[in-house]
Structures are given as C-alpha cells and as structure tokens.
Amino acid sequence: MLFLVRMDVNIPHDLPPEQANEIKAREKAYSQGLQRDGRWPHLWRVVGEYANYSVFDVASNDELHLLLSQLPLFPYMKLQVTPLALHPSAIA
C-alpha cells in the first residue's frame, strides 16, 4: 500500500541544542534504514519549510502507523497521511 505523508516538524525552541542534534541524528539513521529496505522509497523537502513529503510503501495502515510513531522526531511532528491508489491514466 502506498501512502503520501506530509511531515511538518516543530522542535521547541527551548530544547537544548545537544538534545535536538541527538534526536536528529537518530531520525536520520532510522529514516535511512527504512529507505534502504524499500518502505520509504521517496523523501522530498518542502522548500522554505521544516517539512517534507514522503511516500511510504507498506503492507497496512497499522504498519505505517508503527513506522511513523517510532520516528525520533514524532513528538514534534504534525502529520498528514493520504492513501494512494493507481491512476488509470498512469503509464507506469
């Protein structure tokens, strides 16, 4: 199942920089693992924002929820999830 996910990140300004950097490092490692195993095939930055659009390829809603909730930045994110289906005019 494919899902388009918009992630808006809002790290609190009073979070100590060393703690924020540690969380970001864990986030990068976790997300790159999911990219390598194929469950996070696309990750795109939103220009001018601390946000991204991502495509996830997972077996179920529950798997997506589990993956997203384990993101180290999850407590600081607003997520918008859109299920995707094949378009009849798509050539791929």
Tell me the residue range of the domain where 6 lies.
2-84
| Residue 71 near residue 3, CB atoms below 8 Å | no
What is the value of pTM for the model shown?
0.93
Q: Is the pLDDT score of 3 beyond 90? A: yes
* 35 inside domain: yes
The answer to whether residue 29 is domain-embedded is yes
Q: Two tokens at 39?
A: 């469950």
Digit-coded pLDDT (tens) for 17-63: 999 999 999 999 999 999 999 999 999 999 999 999 999 999 999 99
Let me know if residue 89 belongs to a domain.
Answer: no
Domain harbouring 31, CATH code: 3.30.70.1060
pLDDT for residue 51: 98
